[in-house]
Amino acid sequence: MKRRLVFATNNTHKLEEIKAILGEKIEILSLSDIGCHADIPETADTLEGNARLKAQYVYDHYGLDCIADDTGLEVESMGGAPGVYSARYAGNGHDSQANMKKLLEEMKEKNNRKAQFRTIISLIEKGEEKHFEGMVKGQIVRERRGETGFGYDPIFKPDGYETTFAEMGSDVKNRISHRAQAVAALCEYLSHT
C-alpha cells in the first residue's frame, strides 16, 4: 500500500510543486482533502519552528502523518531578512508582488545582492518528528524577470544559472530548488523506513 502523508499547506503552488517532485512515490493529501480549513498559526521565529507547528497541528487534530514546510528568503546585506517573515514581508496578505516591490526598494542602493532560499520540512510520523533542509544560494536581481513560479521567483537567480527561478520553468526549478533538496532528503529517509 502506498504511503500517505498530509501536506499542511494552503498554498496550491507548493502543493503542486511537492506532488510534481514526489511523483508517484507517495500519496500527498491536502488540508482540504482531510477537511481541515483552519488557518494554522505560524507564530514561531524560525523556519523550523513554523514547520513543526503546522505538522503538529495536523497530527494532533486529525491523527494523520504529516509534512509541513516553511521557506524563507535570506538576504545577506539585510542580515538574513526577510527570512521567517518572507511570505508576510509587506504585510499579512501574503502578497508576492508587494513583497518583491518592498525588497527591491530596500535593496536599491545595495551592491551585495547575495541571498539564499532555505526550506525546512518537518515530518511527523507515528508521533515522531524529523527535519529536512534544502538551500539554494544565489543573487537578488534588480528587476523582475520571468512569468512562472511564485513568491520571490522572479527576482532570485540561483548561482550557476543566468535565469531567475521564474524564467527557468518548473521542470528545471523542481530539480534544483531548495524545496526539491528538502524533499529529496525526505524521500531518502522515507525509502529506508
State the catalytic residues. Answer: 70
Tally of helices (H runs) and strands (E runs) in the chain: 5, 7
Q: In the chain, which ranges are continuous DSSP H helix?
A: 12-22, 47-62, 96-106, 165-176, 178-191
Q: Which residue has the cell 538551500?
A: 135
Which residues make Cβ contacts (< 8 Å) with residue 46, sequence separation at least 6? Answer: 84
Tell me if 141 sits within 8 A of 155, measured CB to CB. Answer: yes
Q: CA–CA separation, 10 vs 173, rounded Å?
A: 21
CA distance 84 to 47: 6
Residue among 59, 50, 49, 54 nearest 39 (CA): 54
